[in-house]
Amino acid sequence: MKNIVCLIPARAGSERLKNKHLITINNKTILEISIEQAIESGIFSEIHFSSNDDKLLEIATRYKISIFKRYLSLSESNVPVLAVIQEHIKNIGLLSDDCLCLFQATNILRTQDDIKKGFEIFKQHRGQLPVMSVGVHERPVELYFKIVNGYIENYLGHNVTTARKQDFQPSFFWNDAFIFDSVNSWLAPTRTLFLEKMLPYIMPSERSINIDYPFQALLLQALYEKQGIY
């Protein structure tokens, strides 16, 4: 494993929360916080930033990282992040056994310890399996519901006889902090973002809040003011 590349993607035009990467916490945008987290981890041989947003690109120039103006064809809301990763890998010419880490700017609660431990798991398995950061759902998946034809149905189709959370196994979700994987795996023809076999790096709920909706931004800003989390 020669190169360990960190890719931070951030496009203009976020739909649920406008200009979310420009939200400030303690006078820093979440983009700046994420770039500094990647730099300070000390594990990446290269840090790349990809965006079609001129404001974000200008912010990124303040750091000694590689900056890439994203093609318009990869900047639409319906373009999956996997397509951005694959096109980026092809353009910069990484080797098949190099590591590329998807490092979302929307989770700023990951710590240096999280990043380093996640990478250690990847190294321990010789880069053969991706490592994904996950958070623990506040309630098990068996207690999720959907509405069909106006009626509430269990999401998994189960007949749930108890609402006690402790009666179920915990369920997990990708918390947007990072995914470590080999270039060869990222470029696999049948690749999807989430594979059938991935290694978890479990982060606690209090560090698994990613900014995707206005209330989450307000929550993080309030946490800082109350507790000084940064």
Here the CATH number for the domain that contains residue 211 is 3.90.550.10
**pTM over cut 0.85:** yes
Examine residue 155 and state whether it is found in any structural domain, yes or no. no
pLDDT tens digits, 195-211: 999 999 999 988 999 99
Q: What does the DSSP assignment read for 169-197? A: ---EEEEEEEEEEEHHHHT-TT--SS-SS
pLDDT of residue 229: 55
| Structure tokens, 117 | 């431990």
Examine residue 141 and state whether it is found in any structural domain, yes or no. no
Q: Between β-strands 131-136 and 172-182, what pairing exists: parallel, antiparallel or unpaired?
A: antiparallel
**Residue that has been written with the tokens 């003011």 in this structure:** 225
Examine residue 143 and state whether it is found in any structural domain, yes or no. no
Collect the ranges in the chain with pLDDT lower than 50.
230
Examine residue 167 and state whether it is found in any structural domain, yes or no. no
Examine residue 161 and state whether it is found in any structural domain, yes or no. no
Examine residue 152 and state whether it is found in any structural domain, yes or no. no
69: containing domain: 4-135+172-227
pLDDT of residue 227: 57
Examine residue 120 and state whether it is found in any structural domain, yes or no. yes
Examine residue 67 and state whether it is found in any structural domain, yes or no. yes
| Structure tokens, 21 | 């990467």
Report the domain count for the chain: 1
